[in-house]
């Protein structure tokens, strides 16, 4: 199905199932422990051996020699694979560094061997007996030290052009009556998802099956085939359940490739999970940024010039954190400039983490907007409203398909009690300094081709099949809701099968594109199924209605299952998009509100309450969408206050590489969260008229926390995370 004109009224608009708060259909399996995750595929693989990864002890250099003799002699050891014995391995399209290092070492904890044994303990013990002699080379591990001397412009990439300019920024900024010029920093951060990177590998002749934790099945099937040098048709990935990803499982990682190599070498199925330190140093992370933001405005608050420059680092061949990109769209201003610069760092690979670009970029921009509002003496929400735009500021001929940012902010202000907010450092409750902060959020709606297959049997049950994944976001349920709505049946008459690369290729899970595109793929397949059913039943396909488990036309009504009385009906289709995304800017928007309490004596900060107001197209399942947003809000608190990978700048690794040293917020840290979704349908987006909320819930949260801390204390901190040591000595005197 080609979607190239705005969606008109269609079967989804009945909203009998879609749009209703619905429990997750996979919930009972997860709460009873019956959902099969990658490391636990006892239902498919019997008597697996165990793999254990040995990682590099240096960040850059070469392996001079490696001695495996003692490890091979250990009881239970079945095989040891290194770069010397693995055969030729290509680098996957989506990998920056090789997944098995040697002799060259590109980053700390790069895998240098996989040990396969009868038990996990035997494999781990054998790994400890491997002796590796390294020739260490000098590496670069400090972004700040390279910012002014060793950075380079970035080539065009998925994020668009790295540099943009409209008007004359330097001239406009110099002429502005009121100016802000500030530097902000965000740290390296880890995905820290609950389920580790894990794979169970099984060879059957030349065919490889990987039961793995992966968000993007089609991408990863291709990369496994390329890396191992085998035909794509001989590779199958199966990921029905994934215990969190946040972008860390978008691409093939070492667990998948090393499990496959270990299984081949040992002649046994192999299960392999990366330990926590490997999740931090061997896989990807959100890279640190340095950002300079300059804003010039008239005294009445109209932005005349806005510039945003961002610096980040990655391994050779890697890409930047696109922290400046949201500034191109969020606020008006005639003279504009953005620049992205990249330094080569020899740290583990930087790559996508939930809301890549927007999350760290808005952590800076939305503080800068508050600082500018303070300079102007204008309420921060009013200042943002003054500079709202209904067109792309860089391409004014391109309108937003929907843009309700100001409504998000104004409704949020009303619900949150913004009118009770006072000046910085002026509200106390006993020992606590109280403050409120706001941050705007934007995340673009990305369109991706997505396919599905649907089957109808005589019992009237519809089965949905697609390689789409569920990373805890509720995909099973929204796909079931879509099929139920389209075919006029209750949701318990729908079966959903996901995550298998043998099924039609979908958009996959990531970038908040999954829900809108994958449901649109199911919509397309169901439209084909409806047509076939109508024809089978002898109905005019243009005058037929599917409702209450029956097919209706005029005075005739026949049970849906009757169409399949002589055999199952199968329909398959793919949603493909025209150029509407080029004619219109498609984005989602949010207003984030935070109230904090800061201990006047100790500087300890506590989140008291949070509110998100989101405009994100049609909300397919408000219950699951709310869960996505409150999870993202919690993640934003972590980014603002505690999450930071500490870099050992001598030896090039992340020191706090486990959940003891890298702390994340939990439910008890935030006593009250509320989410409001604006009524919105976006017919420009898709036949579902939906967009996404998974990333939007994070965008702007960190700055809202920072702005609340400033409002509570009168102290501005521009260096995340905002730990108390950065402002303790500046707290106002205790009465």
Strand partners, 273: 198
Q: Go through the chain and tell me how many residues it has.
A: 735
Cα–Cα distance for residue pair 399/402, rounded to 1 Å: 8
Structure tokens at 205: 């002749």
Cα–Cα distance for residue pair 56/106, rounded to 1 Å: 9
Distance, CA of 331 to chain centre: 24
Nearest-CA neighbor of 600 among 412, 727, 478?
727
SS3 290: strand
Cα–Cα distance for residue pair 642/657, rounded to 1 Å: 14
As to burial, measured by CB atoms within 10 angstroms (0-12 exposed, 13-18 middle, 19+ buried), residue 420 is exposed
Tell me the pairing of strands 49-55 and 111-117.
antiparallel
Q: Give the DSSP H/E element, type plus range, for residue 516.
A: helix 514-536
CA distances from 535 to 455, 569, 573 (A): 16, 12, 18
Cα–Cα distance for residue pair 176/199, rounded to 1 Å: 57
Structure tokens at 730: 């500046």
Nearest-CA neighbor of 507 among 82, 90, 217?
217
Q: Which residues are within 8 A (CB) of 733 and not within 5 positions of it... i.e. 6 or more apart?
A: none
DSSP state, residue 729: G
Cα–Cα distance for residue pair 380/300, rounded to 1 Å: 13
Cα–Cα distance for residue pair 295/127, rounded to 1 Å: 55
Cα–Cα distance for residue pair 400/411, rounded to 1 Å: 20
Torsions phi, psi for 260 (to 5 deg): -65, -45
Strand partners, 56: none
User: Which stretches of 445-508 are assigned E, i.e. beta strand?
Assistant: 450-456, 462-465, 494-497
Cα–Cα distance for residue pair 655/640, rounded to 1 Å: 20
Q: Give the DSSP H/E element, type plus range, for residue 279.
A: helix 276-281
Cα–Cα distance for residue pair 654/348, rounded to 1 Å: 9
CA distances from 659 to 188, 190, 664, 694 (A): 15, 10, 8, 23
Which of 321, 349, 366, 695 is catalytic? The answer is 695
Cα–Cα distance for residue pair 219/238, rounded to 1 Å: 13
- Confirm whether 531 is a catalytic residue: no
Distance, CA of 701 to chain centre: 15
Strand partners, 160: 157
Cα–Cα distance for residue pair 537/567, rounded to 1 Å: 13
Distance, CA of 406 to chain centre: 25
Cα–Cα distance for residue pair 255/195, rounded to 1 Å: 13
Residues belonging to the active site: 695
């Amino acid at each position: 199905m080609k979607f190239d004109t705005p969606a008109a009224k269609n079967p989804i608009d009945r909203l009998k199932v879609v749009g209703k708060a619905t429990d997750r259909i996979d919930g009972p399996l997860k709460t009873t422990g019956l959902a099969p995750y990658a490391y636990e595929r006892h239902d498919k693989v019997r008597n697996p051996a165990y793999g254990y990864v040995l990682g590099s002890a240096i960040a850059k250099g070469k392996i001079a020699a490696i001695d495996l003799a003692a490890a091979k002699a250990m009881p239970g050891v079945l095989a040891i694979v290194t770069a010397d014995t693995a055969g030729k391995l290509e680098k996957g399209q989506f990998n920056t560094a090789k997944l098995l290092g040697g002799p060259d070492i590109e980053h700390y904890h790069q895998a240098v061997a996989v040990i396969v044994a009868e038990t996990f303990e035997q494999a781990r013990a054998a790994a400890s007996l491997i002796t590796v002699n390294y020739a260490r080379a000098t590496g670069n591990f400090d972004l700040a030290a390279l910012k002014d001397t060793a950075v380079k412009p970035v080539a065009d990439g998925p994020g668009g052009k790295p540099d943009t300019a409209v008007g004359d920024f330097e001239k406009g900024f110099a002429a502005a009556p009121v100016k802000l010029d500030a530097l902000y920093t965000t740290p390296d951060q880890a995905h820290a998802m609950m389920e580790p990177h894990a794979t169970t590998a099984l060879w059957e002749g030349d065919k490889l099956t990987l039961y793995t934790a992966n968000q993007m099945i089609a991408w990863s099937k291709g990369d496994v085939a390329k890396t191992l040098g085998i035909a794509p048709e001989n590779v199958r990935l199966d990921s029905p359940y994934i215990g969190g990803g946040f972008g860390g499982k978008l691409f093939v990682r070492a667990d998948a490739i090393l499990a496959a190599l270990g299984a081949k070498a040992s002649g046994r199925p192999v299960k392999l999970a990366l330990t926590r330190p490997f999740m931090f140093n061997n896989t990807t992370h959100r890279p640190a940024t340095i950002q300079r933001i300059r804003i010039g405005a008239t005294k009445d608050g109209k932005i005349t010039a806005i510039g945003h420059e961002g610096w980040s680092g990655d391994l050779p061949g890697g890409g930047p954190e696109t922290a400046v990109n949201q500034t191109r769209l969020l606020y008006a201003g005639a003279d504009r400039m953005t620049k992205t610069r990249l330094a080569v760092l020899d740290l583990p690979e930087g790559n996508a983490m939930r809301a890549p670009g927007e999350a760290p970029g808005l952590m800076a921009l939305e503080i800068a907007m508050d600082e500018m509002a303070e300079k102007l003496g204008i309420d921060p929400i009013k200042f943002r409203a003054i500079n709202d735009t209904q067109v792309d500021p860089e391409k004014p001929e391109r309108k937003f398909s929907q843009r309700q940012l100001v409504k998000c902010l104004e409704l949020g202000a009303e619900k949150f009690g913004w009118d009770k907010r006072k000046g910085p450092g002026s509200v106390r409750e006993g020992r606590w300094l109280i403050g409120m902060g706001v941050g705007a959020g934007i995340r673009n709606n990305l369109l991706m081709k997505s396919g599905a297959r649907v089957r109808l049997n005589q019992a009237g049950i519809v089965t949905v099949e697609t390689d789409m994944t569920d990373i805890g976001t509720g995909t099973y349920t929204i796909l079931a809701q879509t099929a139920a709505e389209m075919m006029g049946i209750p949701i318990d008459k729908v079966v959903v099968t996901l995550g298998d690369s043998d099924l039609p290729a979908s958009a996959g899970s990531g970038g908040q594109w999954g829900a809108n595109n994958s449901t649109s793929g199911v919509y397309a397949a169901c439209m084909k199924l409806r047509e076939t059913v109508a024809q089978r039943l002898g109905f005019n396909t243009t005058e037929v209605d599917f409702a209450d488990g029956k097919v209706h036309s005029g005075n005739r009504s026949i049970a849906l299952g009757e169409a399949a009385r002589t055999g199952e009906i199968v329909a398959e289709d793919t949603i493909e998009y025209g150029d509407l995304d080029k004619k219109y800017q498609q984005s989602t928007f949010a207003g984030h509100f935070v109230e904090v309490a800061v201990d006047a004596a100790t500087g300890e900060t506590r989140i008291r309450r949070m509110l998100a107001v989101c405009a994100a197209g049609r909300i397919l399942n408000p219950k699951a969408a709310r869960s996505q947003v409150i999870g993202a809000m919690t993640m934003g608190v972590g980014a603002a206050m505690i999450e930071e990978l500490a870099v050992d700048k001598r030896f090039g690794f992340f020191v706090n590489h486990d959940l003891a040293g890298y702390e994340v917020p939990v439910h008890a840290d935030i006593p009250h969260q509320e989410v409001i979704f604006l009524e919105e349908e976006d017919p420009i987006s898709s036949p579902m008229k939906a967009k996404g909320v998974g990333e939007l819930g994070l965008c702007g949260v960190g700055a809202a926390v920072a702005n609340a801390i400033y409002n509570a204390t009168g102290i501005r901190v521009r260096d995340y995370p905002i730990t108390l040591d950065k402002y303790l000595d500046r707290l106002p005197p205790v009465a």
